[in-house]
Amino acid sequence: MTFGSSVHSTVDGTGRYQIYGFDSSESRSSSSKSSGKYTQSHRDFVRAFYAVLRRWQSETAFVSDPDAKTRHKSFEALVGLAEHVTPLIISELQQEPSLLVWVLEDAFGERPYSDDQVGDIEAMSNAWIAWAERNGKIL
């Protein structure tokens, strides 16, 4: 499986999430002029989230094995971004139940649903929406 080069994400040595690959005008608009060091804005995280989400969905669309889907590098990137865009993920789940529930599982190390709901993507999505409401993570 190959990956494009428009967006790359990794965790730097400080544990902070780094995003590369945006055009220079976007980067300049978000950079910290006082320190000269680039600091990601929320807009950057949103753009990165949708870019990586599209890649994950398109490259694993026809795969049924959850473990194969979640081994994909774009899935790992989504987990890394999740904390920064949680309300956005919740908004996506409110629009349509989806496999983003697995991203939240790995990002937060929680399963806010019972064992007998595992695999019921709609119930899992609703449980994450309720979790977000309890934790102030709604847009």
Q: How far is the CB of 102 from another protein (least distance, A)?
A: 6
Site for another protein in 65-94 (CB under 8 A): 65-67, 70
Using CB under 8 A, which of the segments 14-22, 23-31, 76-84, 116-124 binds another protein?
A: 116-124
4 forms part of the interface with another protein (CB under 8 A) = yes
Which CB sits closer to another protein, 60 or 86?
A: 60
Angle of helix 73-82 versus helix 42-60 axis, rounded to 10: 150
Figure out which of the listed residues 17, 19, 97, 107 binds another protein, where binding follows CB under 8 A: 97
Q: How far is the CB of 139 from another protein (least distance, A)?
A: 21
The DSSP line for the chain is ----SS-EEEE-TTS-EEEE---HHHHHHHS-TTT------HHHHHHHHHHHHHHHHHHHTT---HHHHHHSHHHHHHHHHHTTSHHHHHHHHHHS--THHHHHHHHHT---S-GGGTT-HHHHHHHHHHHHHHTT---
Figure out which of the listed residues 42, 43, 71, 96 binds another protein, where binding follows CB under 8 A: 96
105 forms part of the interface with another protein (CB under 8 A) = yes
**Residues binding another protein (CB under 8 A):** 2-4, 58-67, 70, 96-99, 102, 105, 118-122
